[in-house]
Structure 1
Amino acid sequence: MATPAMMLKFHTNLLLTIGNQTLITHKSKQFTKNSLARLFGTNGIRGVFLEDLTLEFVHDISLAIGTFFRRGPILIGHDGRDSSPVLAKIVCSSLNSIGIDCKMGGLVPTPALEFATRNLGYSGGIMITASHNPPKYNGIKLAASDGVEVSREDELRIEKIYFAKKWKKGYKIGRTDREPQIISSYVKGIVSHVNSKKIKARKFKVVLDLGNGAQAAAAPILCKELGCKTFLLNEKIDGQFPGRGSEPTPSNLSKLSSTVLNHKADLGIAFDGDGDRSIFCDEKGQILTGDRSALVLTNHLLQKNPGSKVVTCLNSSNLTEQIASMTSSKVIRTKVGSVEVSRRMVPEKALVGFEENGGFMYGKHNQVRDGSMTLALALDMLASSGRSMSEEMDLLPKSYTTKDKFSCTREQARKVISELKKEHKRYDTTDGIKILLGKEWIMVRPSGTEPIARIYGESDSQENLELLMSRYTKKIKSILERIH
């Protein structure tokens, strides 16, 4: 899977190049098995607008997607990036040209589009977004008719169609109309899964850091429906993400923390650019890691639904198994990536799915990451228990996780992983490498969306975790210096 620095370049002669290696030309129409999975990364297709995501490429990949879906109507939505409306129009026009009808949903969060795709009866959904990437990036995420991201196998099928250039032929021009019900359908669906009466009775005060992103179109409406008094940060949708950037991280959420304290709010929450991930702040102003907030919500939901299934990635906390065992529930591990978790949830009929990065999935609503659904579940938990968020967190067993990243190419990351394998006996190479060190673990994997590799770790104390991360960061740096 390509990182943005290695993203495919599409020139007027349709010469496809990664680095210095030519994989396919329009004239020869040859492609190899290795050229597959080069367009889709960990979560959709992403690249720099007009460099990686040229208008020609978006047109052609739209034809491939339309050929895959075969029929309409297809629901189209986009985030608040400056280039998103342009790309959405190209997608619609391209689909119309091969006879497929579209409905344009406009600016909506990704999970709202996914929910509407299923709930309103569409053949598929296309979201124009680059999620948390910087403003110059954009991308394409696909939802199948069930409202869940298309599988890895279907991504390969779409790529095969793209490279072969064998598009569906339309015998008439398709139409593009508006779809006005996405947000209302989405909010109504979320509210149906929580005890709104109890939530309203608590009269919660909630701080929403909307990050200048797409949840500004939905989260405030949801909070109003649930009787919350809201305080808004970065509420103006802006494709440059001037407030605190498109990705919520502990380092850029100080204003969320201080606003929670100043207003004596019960909860704070920050969303990423397209609104499918969320990071919480408790009433004491403490920013919670995605892992810890996912665990506390999982514990709450499993207590209500014992004997359920939880799907999560290899890089999330080992406490997941401990919490699940208390309700005779089962944990299923996958590779990193929301597609991996979502698509595994469907056949397993899992109640919960999550990633360590703040992506939480509630199976009874939709098997996708959903920032607003996660907020509603947190409010439902607090309303049901009568406890504060910090008190809920204190009930969890103690464990400490963290993550970092380092710049490298995918080839360099592979060499790092190879060297680490030589130094250890207990490891899992399902996705990168997860080194098992008794109660501790370290995981290294190349990003599917950026020219970096990520390093994750877990230990039984903050001090031990810092020592663990420091040791392996130095080790990786040494390996990179040797292979340059």
Structure 2
Amino acid sequence: MEVFGSSGVRGTVGETITPTFVGQVARAAGSEWFSAGTRTVAIARDTRRTGEMLADAAAAELAAVGCDVRRLGVVPTPGTQAYCAREGLPALMITASHNPPRYNGVKLIGADGHELSREALERIEARLLRSDRDGRGSSVTWDRVGRTERADGARRRYVEELLSAVDRKSIASADLTVALDPGHGAGATTSPEFFRRLGCEVVTVNAQPDGRFPGRDPEPVAENLSELGELVRASDADVGVAHDGDADRAIFFDERGAFLDGDAVLAALAAAVLEPGDATVSAVNVSQRLVDVADEAGADLELTPIGSTFIVTRILELVGEGRRVPVAGEGNGGVLFPPYRPARDGAYTAARFLELLADRSASEVVAPYDDYENVRINIPYEEDATRRAMLEAAEAYAYDSVAEVTTIDGYRLDYGDAWVLARPSGTEPLVRVYAEAGSRDRAAELAEGMREALEASIEEPPADA
């Protein structure tokens, strides 16, 4: 696909993301949905300063093709998905998730509350590109344009659904103190209330909704979360929880204020629910931790390209085949519990982790899965030719190695005791390098070897230059 990446479309506002472009995406999606009989579409957004402007543009174009529009306001992405499933309506979610404040984007959600399948996105993209080429788009006559209304209560209903889906009794009985950092994002409007209503004492940092993200960058990685670690220690909290900009991810700190590796958390959550004959789904950058857990449980592990769209699609295929998929996801905090909803949900994931703290500390919960070290490197590029050169270098490096090579998404080299992966980001102009091994030195060695190969290709003139 030319437009939609691994999780919608994102970019810098004023450059690739403009009101005109977002309107075109909305027109294409609205036309596709309208032709299938849908007459009402919801629009929600995260807290970014540009969100309302882009939602206005989307609403106008949806009305132009005949769709009525329900404006939900600021809602976490999983809250919007819950609304779609409850009301039977598709939606446009205006968000750039974990990207910096200057970014924004669009994620399309189906009337079942799921991210759209790749096939559905391809149909919408075909309409978008066709409209862009001929300068036209379908519009209804003046007397059939859609109406726009404000729909209140989406956040409140989302919190109520969360509360009914988790073990409130065990969490309340644990008498937990939760240090929460929603990062000024959409989770600031729902997660503090949710954890308090679970019976937790809640202390917060960066909990004011603010699309400038003044306290920290929206991506919940260790280097952006030092204040949360300090808050855990200062408040003697049992656990720290952080979200990204649209709150579909959860990252954790233990009771000592130490950052918990997302892959270790995913392994702990999976170990608690996987049974023989089950399946779980993750991406090609899957940690050996989850591989080990699936093997020990007698469950099958299915791999997909990186991105929630691919993971959700495979989950739905497996469920359609009658398989039980109790948990899935990636080590970046994007965990799914399909029996609840096949969608990433930071607040729900956090509550499921809190359930594990009823008789153990957070550090004890992840201790069995803390035997690996991870290194991640981002290599930026400006030109498509540079991107192609780096991927060609990754391919040559992979097939010159003694490793087992997987090409589901990029190039993953498995050495038995360690692995390294190079792949282009689906949302940013980056080639990402991931490595994992039993020691940090070994992981760093693998990552640096791949980086050197890719950067050497940048120094050389591209083949088509």
Q: TM-score, normalised by structure 1?
A: 0.88
Alignment of 1:306-317 (within 5 A): 306-317=276-287
Percent of aligned pairs with the same amino acid: 34
Aligned to 1:466: 444
Q: Deviations over 1:221-271 (max 9, x none)?
A: 110210111111101111111101111111121111111011110100111
Structure 1 range deviating more: 390-399 or 368-377? 390-399
Partner of 1:101: 68
Distance 2:457 2:56 in 1: 46
1:149 alignment counterpart: 115
Task: Give the letter aligned to residue 25 of structure 2.
Answer: I
Q: 1:78 aligns with which of 45, 52, 57?
A: 45
The 8 Å contact of residues 188 and 207 in structure 2, kept in 1 or not, is answered as yes
Alpha-carbon distance in 2 for matches of 1:49, 1:476: 29
Amino acid at match of 1:80: T
Partner of 1:391: 364
Q: Cα deviations across residues 152-194 of structure 1 (Å, max 9, x unaligned)?
A: 1211111111122253646612122222232222222222232
Over residues 112-146 of structure 1, what are the superposed CA-to-partner deviations in whole Å (9 max), with x where a residue is unaligned? 10111112221x11100111112121100011111
> In the TM superposition, what whole-angstrom CA distance separates every residue of 1:384-438 from its partner, at most 9, and x where no partner exists?
xx00110011123622223121112422332222332342253111211001212
Measured in 2, the distance between the counterparts of 1:365 and 1:98 equals 34
Q: Judge conservation of contact 2:336–2:344 (CA < 8 Å) in 1.
A: yes
What is the distance in 1 between the residues matched to 2:73 and 2:268? 34
Q: Quick one: distance in 2 between partners of 1:245 and 1:211?
A: 7
Amino acid at match of 2:288: N
Give the match for residue 454 of structure 1.
432
Letter in 2 for 1:53: I
Give the match's secondary structure for 1:200: helix
Does the 8 A contact of 1:413 with 1:445 survive in 2?
no
Alignment match, 1:356: 331
State the Cα deviation string for residues 450-477 of structure 1 (Å, max 9, x = none): 1111001111223322332233333333
Q: Which residue of 203, 211, 216 corresponds with 2:175?
A: 203
- Spell out the pairing of 1:160-179 with structure 2 (5 A cutoff): 160-165=126-131, 166-167=137-138, 169=140, 172-179=144-151
Does the 8 Å contact 2:64/2:139 carry over to 1? no
Equivalent-residue separation in structure 2 for 1:95 and 1:281 (angstroms): 42
Match of 2:80 in 1: 113
Among 184, 189, 194, the residue aligned to 2:156? 184
CA contact (8 A) 1:191 1:376 kept: no
Name the CA distance, whole Å, in 1 between partners of 2:409 and 2:248.
23
The reply on whether 1:241 has 2:213 as its aligned counterpart is yes
Say whether residues 1:343 and 2:274 are aligned partners: no
Structure 1 residue 483, shift from structure 2 partner: 4.4
Paired residues of 2:390 and 2:455 also in contact (CA < 8 A) = no
Q: Does 1:133 align with 2:106?
A: no
The residue aligned with 1:260 is 232
* 249-258 or 405-414, larger mean C-alpha shift: 405-414
The corresponding residue for 1:420 is 397
Partner Cα separation in structure 1 for residue 331 and residue 390 of structure 2: 21
Q: CA offsets, 1:257-295, max 9 Å, x none?
A: 111011110100111111111211011111012211111
8 Å Cα contact 2:411-2:421 kept in structure 1: yes
- Rounded to whole Å, the distance in 1 between the matches of 2:276 and 2:177 is 31
- Specify the SS of the correspondent of 1:127: strand
Aligned to 1:69: 33
Equivalent residue of 1:103, what SS? strand
1:24 corresponding residue in structure 2? none
Question: For 1:10-29, what aligned pairs fall within 5 Å after superposition?
Answer: none
Which residue number in structure 2 is paired with residue 10 of structure 1? none
Task: List gaps (5 residues or longer) in structure 1.
Answer: 1-36
Pair 1:38 & 2:5 matched: no
Give, in whole Å, the separation in 2 of the partners of 1:102 and 1:115.
17
2:11–2:428 Cα contact (<8 Å) kept: no
Secondary structure of 1:326's match? helix
Does residue 266 of structure 2 align to residue 294 of structure 1?
yes
**CA shift at 1:78, angstroms?**
0.4
SS in 2 for 1:395: helix
| 1:416 and 1:480 in contact (8 A); partners too | no
Measure, in 2, the Cα distance between the counterparts of 1:253 and 1:282: 13
Name the SS for the 1:292 alignment partner. helix
Listed one character per residue, the Cα deviations across residues 29-54 of structure 1 (whole Å, up to 9, x for unaligned) are: xxxxxxxx221122111122232222
Note closer, same or farther for the CA distance 1:235–1:390 as it changes in structure 2 (3 Å cut).
Answer: same
C-alpha distance in structure 2 between counterparts of 1:202 and 1:68, whole Å: 49
Alignment partner, residue 375 of structure 2: 402
Cα distance change, pair 477–468 in 1 and its aligned pair in 2 (3 A): same
Could you report, residue by residue, the CA deviation over 1:321-362 in whole angstroms, capped at 9, with x for unpaired residues? 221222222211100111111111112122211112111111
CA contact 2:255–2:362 (8 Å) conserved in 1 = yes
CA distance in 1, matches of 2:4, 2:445: 36
Give, in whole Å, the separation in 2 of the partners of 1:157 and 1:301: 36
**Equivalent residue letter for 1:388:** S
**Secondary structure in 2 aligned to 1:331?**
strand
Could you tell me how far 1:309 is from its partner in structure 2? 1.7
Does the 8 Å contact 1:189/1:365 carry over to 2? no
Mapped to 1, the partners of 2:443 and 2:249 lie a distance apart of 25
CA distance in 1, matches of 2:18, 2:167: 46
Asked if the contact 2:176–2:237 (Cα under 8 Å) also holds between the matched residues in 1, the reply is: yes
Identify which range, 81-90 or 424-433, moves more after superposition: 424-433
Aligned: 1:366 with 2:366: no
Distance in 1 (CA, whole Å) between partners of 2:426 and 2:77 is 19
CA distance in 2, matches of 1:325, 1:168: 54
Task: Report deviation, 1:375.
Answer: 0.7
SS in 2 for 1:60: helix
RMSD: 1.7
Cα pair 2:264 2:370 within 8 Å, conserved = no
